Amino acid sequence: MKKNRIDFKEKRRYAIKKVSGKTASVFIGATIFGVILSSNLSIDNTKADTVSNTTATTISNDQTSETSNVVTLRNNQKNENSSNEAADSVQNVTSNTESNVSAENKAPSTESVALKSDTPEVSAPAESSVNTSAAPEMRMATSTTTGSDRNAAGTVDENNANTQEAEENKKLANETGLTSSDNYSSNIYKGTDGNYYKVITIYGKDYVYRPVKVYANGTATGQWATNERDTRANIITTKEDLGNGKVKWTVVFFPSKGLTKDNSTISGLQSAKFGVALTKDYRIIGDVTVNIDSIADAGHTYTAMDGHGHEKSFTPEANVVQSFNPNTDVDLSGWINSSTMPGENNDYILGPYYFNTDTSVGEKNLGNTFFKEETVNKNAYTGENFVGEVHDLWTDNYTIRNEDKNALDGGDYYKKHLIYDPLFNEKGGIYKDGFFNSGDFGSAMIFKSQGKTNTAQFSSFTISFVAQHTDSYQSDLAKGPNGQQFSGIIANTYSYQNAYYNMYSIALGEQRSLKKVGKSYVETQPGDKIPNWQKGEDALARINKEYLNDEQINNLKNEIHKNIENSELIEQIVTTGNDLNDSMKALGNSVGIYDDNNEYTNRIVDNVKNSDKYIYASKEKQKAYDDAVIAAQNVIDKTKGKYADKTTVETLTKNVNDAFDALDGVKTANIPTEKVPVKDLNNLSEDEKAQVKKNVEDANKTLIDNGVTVTVDNKGNATITYLDKSTDEISSTDLVVEKTNIDADKNEPKVPSDKVKVDDPNKLTEDEKSEVVKTVEDANKDEKEVNLTRRKQGNRR
C-alpha cells in the first residue's frame, strides 16, 4: 500500500457475516468482485471510465462533501442526527463523570445481515471515455437486504447508490472505538474472545490493533493521590467515526466550568493550560472549533490578560465560539491568529498555539510545550516569550491510572509513565517504563485560560475537529520499549493553583495488540484472535497474485476471511482471483509491461509516444490514448494501484487497445488542392508566400497542430520540417500558378450577338467606341472580370 495520505477515497463494502446461527467473524472493508459468485457474495464494480489518473499522495484540506463518492460516506459526510453529549455536559456546574461513547470495546448485536441471493451485478460499460478527474469513483451492486433495519428507501443517496453497508461500517467503528479504513488496507473483525480487532495489511504484512483509552495523572505535589475518576471529571473525550477513515474528535476541558476532583467543589481557572496532540497518522481537515461556555454574571467576572502584561476585569458571555484553520491561521512560530480566535487581546484564551512536525522548529516547539518536563516560555522559532508566556504541559511526567487491569497491552502499566520519550525529555530521561512513543505525534494545539487568584475564569472549552486517518501511516508509527504503539489523541490539562498541581490526561484511540511470550511481548497475529484465519490464508495462497495490485489482493483476502466457512464460495473466490490475475497481465501487456517474450515492445508507452503514429496523430486521438494509459496504470501499479474487478480490467484493456489502434499519424505532407495565383513565378511577394504557406498548413492541419513547421521560398517551394528535424519539400509547380495565365483561362470574353452600327469602321467616333464597350460589357456582365481597352478600330484586347 502506498504510505501516503490519500487525496481521494476509494469505495468499500461492509458486511456482518452470520454462519450457522453464530457470528463467525465480523468484517469491515472492501468486498468487490465483478462476477456474482453465489447468493452470499456481494458485488462491487469499478467502472473503467472512472479510474482516476490522480497520483497525488497528500490529502487535500479543502476536500468537501461535494466530491461524490458512491457506496461509502463522502469525505466530510456528517451524521447530522448525532448529538454531542460532551458538549451538552459542559452546562453542568457541578462535577460530573464522563460519558464514554467510543472507547469501550462494545460488542454490537450478533444478529447478522446477509445479502439477498438476487443481488444484481453492476457491470462496467462496454465502451467508456476514460475520466481522469481527481476523484475515482467505485461502483457497487445495489443490494436489497432483509430485516427491520434494512429499509432500502432510507439508504439510497442522491446518486442512487445503496450506502447501507457503509453505514454499518461507520456504526461498527463507532461502537468498537476503532477507526474505519481509509482504503482497502484494513478491516474490523470480531475475535474469538468476543472483542473487536482491526487488521491492517500493508505490503502483505498484517498489523493487529484494538481500542484503547488511557487515563493518566501527573506526579507533582498532590497529584499522587489523584485517580481515573478525577481525570474523567476534568476531561471528556469522544471519537465519532464518519467513515472512510475520517474521524471527528471532540475534547471537553473542564466540563464543570472549572477544575474539580471527583465529587468535589469547583475551582475557577487561573491561567490553566490545556491542549491536544494528534498522532502522525491523522491530519486535521478544515477548521478547529473551540466552543467556550462560561458562567456569565457579575459574580464571575475574571481577570483577562492581553498576552503582553496588560490586564482588565472582564465579564464573559455565556457562550462564545472561536475557531482557526491550521493551514491558514497559523504563522511559522505556531501562533494562532484568526478572525474569531485572536492571538492576543483574546478575553477567553491566552496565547493559542498550534505546532506540527513538518519543520524541525515546529517539532521542537511541539516537544518542548507538550512533552518536556520543564518550564517553557520561549518560542523555538522566535526565541522570544510566547504570547501569555509559559506554555508547557509536562506530558512526560504523567503516569497511567487506569482502573481496568486489561486496558493496555505491553506490560504492567499502573502508575507507569504514559510516554516513552527518546526525543524531547532532557530533564527526566526517556522513562523506559513509558508506553507510547513521543515520536508518534505529528501535531498539537495548546491553549491557556484567563483568570488569576481570586478572579478566576469559570469556563469550559469544547475543542472539536475532523481528521483524516491513513492506515499505512499507522503501521509505521514508532514503538515503546515493549513494542507498544498508539494511534489517536492525547488531551492534557496542567495548572498550578490552589496550592497544588492539577495534571490530567486522556489518550484515546487504538493500540497495537501484543501478547506475552515468556518475558517478552510480541505482536499479536490475526490468527491469534480471528477465527479460521489460517484457513483463509491457505485459500489466499492458492491464488496467483503475480500481477495483482495490493488493493486487489487485500480485497480477495477480505472476501475469503468473510466467507471462510463456505467452502464452495471460497473455491469460486479463488477462481475469480486467478482469472483477475490473468486479466491484469493482459492489461499490463497492453502498455508493454510483463513482456517476457518481447511480443509487446511496440506497446511500451514510451515507444508509442515516440512513434510517428502517435506524434502525428490528432490531438484528440493522442488524448484518448493518454487517458486510457493513465487509467490502466492507475490499476497496474502494485503498491499504488486502485482496485478494479475483472470486468473493469478487461474494459480498461480494450480502451488501451482501441486507442492504440486508432493512432494513425504519418510523417507525410499533403499537397493543397488549390494553387496560388502569383504575378512573378521567380519572385513571390510576401503576401503570396504567406498564402502559399497557409494553403500548405491548411492541408496538413494535424501535422501543424503537432508542431510541424512550413517555410516558403521566393519561388514558391514549400519546405515541411518535422519534429525530428527531417524535411519534405513540395514543389512550386504544385503550389503556384502565374496570374496572367489564370486571367486568360478564366476570362475568355463572349462576343456580343448584335453589332454596333458605325459610319466608318476604320475610324470610330468616341460615342461609337463607347457603344462598342457597352455592348461587350453587356454580353459579359456575368463574368468576374473583363479586361477591355479602347482602340480606334473597336477591337477588344
Instruction: Classify the phi-psi angles of 222: left when phi > 0, otherwise alpha if psi is within -120 to 50, otherwise beta.
Output: left
pLDDT band at 748 (very low <50, low <70, confident <90, very high): low
All residues at 6 or more sequence positions from 402 whose CB lies less than 8 Å from its CB, including other chains: 213, 214, 215, 228, 408, 413, 414
**Residue 453 CB coordination number (10 Å):** 11
Residues 655, 763, single domain; the answer is no
Phi, psi of 314 (to 5 degrees): -140, 135
CA 82/CA 717 separation, integer angstroms: 78
Q: What is the torsional sign of CA 28, 32, 38, 39?
A: positive
Q: Which triple of cell numbers denotes residue 23?
A: 457470528
Question: Which range is least confidently modeled, 541-550, 650-659, 785-794?
Answer: 785-794
Q: Do 648 and 686 lie in a common domain?
A: no
Q: What is the dihedral of CA 784, 789, 790, 792, to 10 degrees?
A: -130
Mark whether 760 and 737 lie in a shared domain: no
- 124-163 tens-digit pLDDT: 333 333 333 333 232 222 222 222 222 222 333 443 333 4
SS3 3: coil
Average pLDDT over residues 370-388: 93
- Please indicate, yes or no, if residue 3 is contained in any of the structural domains: no
- Asked whether residue 429 falls in the same domain as residue 553, the answer is no
pLDDT of the residue at 296: 93
Whether residue 285 is found in the same domain as residue 337: yes
Reduce the secondary structure of 594-643 to three states and give it as a string: CCCCCCCHHHCHHHHHCCHHHHCCCHHHHHHHHHHHHHHHHHHCCCCCCC
pLDDT > 70 in the chain, percent: 74
Label each residue of 703-733 as H, E or C.
HHHCCCEEEECCCCCEEEECCCCCEEEECHH
Residue 426 is predicted with a pLDDT of 64
Boundary (domain end) residue, out of 501, 523, 545: 523
Q: Return the sign of the alpha-carbon dihedral for residues 625, 628, 631, 633.
A: negative
CATH code for position 735: 3.10.20.890
Q: Cβ distance 593 to 614 under 8 Å?
A: no
* Same structural domain, 425 and 466: yes
Higher pLDDT, 3 or 467: 467
**514 belongs to a structural domain:** yes
- Enumerate residues 6+ apart whose C-beta is below 8 A from 321: 289, 290, 291, 292, 340
> What is the rounded CA–CA span in Å between residue 61 and residue 465?
12
| Residue 165 in domain | no
- Whether residue 178 is contained in a domain is answered as no
Domain termination residue (choose one: 499, 523, 547)? 523
pLDDT number for residue 783: 56
Average pLDDT, the chain: 78
* Helix extents (H) in 90-242: 164-176, 228-234
Q: Provide mean pLDDT across the span 168-175.
A: 82
Q: Is 392 helix (H, G, I), strand (E, B) or coil?
A: coil
Residue 323: name the closest of 469, 445, 449 by CA. 445
Contact present, 648 and 655 (Cβ < 8 Å): no
Q: What is the mean pLDDT of residues 12-41?
A: 34
38 vs 199: CA distance, rounded Å:
26
SS3 773: helix
pLDDT of res. 238: 96
Which residue, 229, 294, 299, is CA-closest to 264?
229
621-670 tens-digit pLDDT:
999 999 999 999 999 999 889 889 999 999 999 999 999 999 988 888 88
Q: Is the pTM of this model over 0.85?
A: no
Kindly state whether residues 307 and 454 are assigned to the same domain.
yes
595 and 634 both lie in a single domain: yes
pLDDT at 208 over 90: yes
HSE of 190, CA atoms in CB hemisphere, 13 A: 20
pLDDT in the model for residue 429:
61
Lowest mean pLDDT among 110-119, 217-226, 767-776: 110-119
Around 70, how many Cα atoms within 13 Å sit in the side-chain half-sphere? 17
Specify if 77 maps to a domain. no
Count of domains for the chain: 4
377 and 251 in one domain? yes
pLDDT tens for 698-711 read: 988 888 888 889 99
Q: Is residue 13 part of a domain?
A: no
Claim to verify: residue 651 and residue 584 sit in the same structural domain: yes
Residue 454 lies in a domain: yes
Between CA 743 and CA 519 the distance in angstroms is 108
Residue 441 lies in a domain: yes
CB 603 within 8 A of CB 591: yes
- pLDDT at position 96 is 37
Instruction: Give the Cα-Cα-Cα angle 246, 409, 196 (nearest 5 degrees).
Output: 50
pLDDT interval class at 779 (50, 70, 90)? confident
Grid cell listed for 697: 498548413
DSSP designation for 86: H
- In this prediction, residues 778-788 reach a mean pLDDT of 60
The pLDDT of residue 755 is 85
Q: Decide which of 614, 630, 662 is a domain's last residue.
A: 662
How would residue 356 be classed by pLDDT, with cut points 50, 70 and 90?
Answer: very high
Same domain? 489 vs 388? yes
Domain range spanning residue 439?
211-523
| pLDDT, tens digit (0-9, with 9 covering 90-100), for 504-517 | 999 999 999 999 99
Q: Cβ(665)–Cβ(613) under 8 Å?
A: yes
Same domain for 681 and 708, yes or no, is yes
